[in-house]
Amino acid sequence: GAGVSQSPRYKVAKRGQDVALRCDPISGHVSLFWYQQALGQGPEFLTYFQNEAQLDKSGLPSDRFFAERPEGSVSTLKIQRTQQEDSAVYLCASSSRLGGAYEQYFGPGTRLTVT
Amino acid sequence: RKEVEQDPGPFNVPEGATVAFNCTYSNSASQSFFWYRQDCRKEPKLLMSVYSSGNEDGRFTAQLNRASQYISLLIRDSKLSDSATYLCAVNLGINDMRFGAGTRLTVKP
């Protein structure tokens, strides 16, 4: 079946603009994660959803970052007033199991460049 | 100390060589461990889970050492197509997985 999809694949934003990144998880997957990956680093946890509930947002770097999953499937990560340090690849992952202790399947990511 | 640490490499090995990577973790309560493979400019893909008793999948062997808090990945008879970055992942709490920075492997002809 279809894997995790993300859009857009690439986004260039001017500093101060707002951006919205979309994630379509694997159908039926209850858990959804957002990660930020800087060049040469591993993915850094941002936030976790169990169905529509955001159970953990401890990794969001500032209050400019906001994520939602209103119907328990598609999720959107919004970054307000983008800064240059927000430039990174934003990865979405989903899992059929509850919580973060199980295999996760990643989407192709959105590469965000803030100029 | 970082929560999950890996030797960044790069490891440059000839085809057919055996290569091993280690990954250390800080939380002794961690229960789940994984190895992911990430090709350049692609997403991480699950390579294998790591079980307490150790496990093997073809040329790949993963082991867990709880006492010393590390996991390892051994690749035997390495192929050109094994060239990638290998990320270890450890669950730190109920909801989050932490990744190492990755170890880069280049297999040369």
Mean pLDDT for each 10-residue chunk of chain A (115 residues)?
A: 92 98 96 95 95 94 97 97 97 91 93 98
Distance (Å, rounded) from C-alpha A109 to C-alpha A97? Answer: 21
A7 φψ region: left (φ > 0), alpha (ψ -120 to 50), beta (else): beta
Cβ of residue A41 closer than 8 Å to a chain B Cβ:
yes
Give how far B2 is from chain A: nearest CA, Å: 12
Check pLDDT > 80 for residue B1.
no
Q: Count Cα neighbours of B82 within 13 Å in the Cβ-side half-sphere.
A: 26
pLDDT value at position B93?
75
Using CA coordinates, name the residue in chain A closest to B42: A108
Which tens digit of pLDDT belongs to each residue from B53-108?
889 999 999 999 999 999 999 999 999 999 999 999 998 777 788 999 999 999 99
Distance (Å, rounded) from C-alpha A88 to C-alpha A112? Answer: 6
Which tens digit of pLDDT belongs to each residue from B69-82?
999 999 999 999 99
Distance (Å, rounded) from C-alpha B103 to C-alpha B87? Answer: 7
